[in-house]
Amino acid sequence: MHLNKYSELLERLESEEFEQVELGAEVYQQLLAIYLYQNKLANAKLLWMRIPAKLKEDKELVQLNLLNQALQNNNYADFFKHIKYEWSERVKSPVEDLLIKQRGELFRLMGSAYVSIYQHNLMELSLMSEEELKKAYVVLNWTEELDGERVILKPKVQESTPSRANDDQLLKLTEFVTFLEN
Q: Which is nearer to another protein, 113 or 139 (CB)?
A: 113
100-109: long-range contacts, CB 8 A cutoff, minimum separation 24 = 100/1, 101/1, 101/37, 102/71, 102/76, 103/136, 106/76, 107/136, 107/137, 107/140, 108/158
- Cα separation, 31 vs 37, whole angstroms: 10
Q: Does 175 bind another protein (CB under 8 A)?
A: no
Q: Does 66 bind another protein (CB under 8 A)?
A: no
Q: Does 156 bind another protein (CB under 8 A)?
A: no
| 84, 149, 162, 181: which one binds another protein (CB under 8 A) | 162
| 7, 88, 141, 169: which one binds another protein (CB under 8 A) | 169
Q: Does 161 bind another protein (CB under 8 A)?
A: no
Helical (H) or strand (E) element with 176: helix 167-181
| 9, 99, 117, 123: which one binds another protein (CB under 8 A) | 117
- Cα separation, 10 vs 114, whole angstroms: 36
Start-to-end C-alpha separation, the chain: 45
Q: What is the CA radius of gyration of the chain?
A: 21
| 8, 19, 149, 181: which one binds another protein (CB under 8 A) | 19
Q: Does 129 bind another protein (CB under 8 A)?
A: no
Q: Does 147 bind another protein (CB under 8 A)?
A: yes
| 2, 50, 54, 84: which one binds another protein (CB under 8 A) | 50
Q: Which is nearer to another protein, 44 or 87 (CB)?
A: 44
- Cα separation, 140 vs 122, whole angstroms: 15
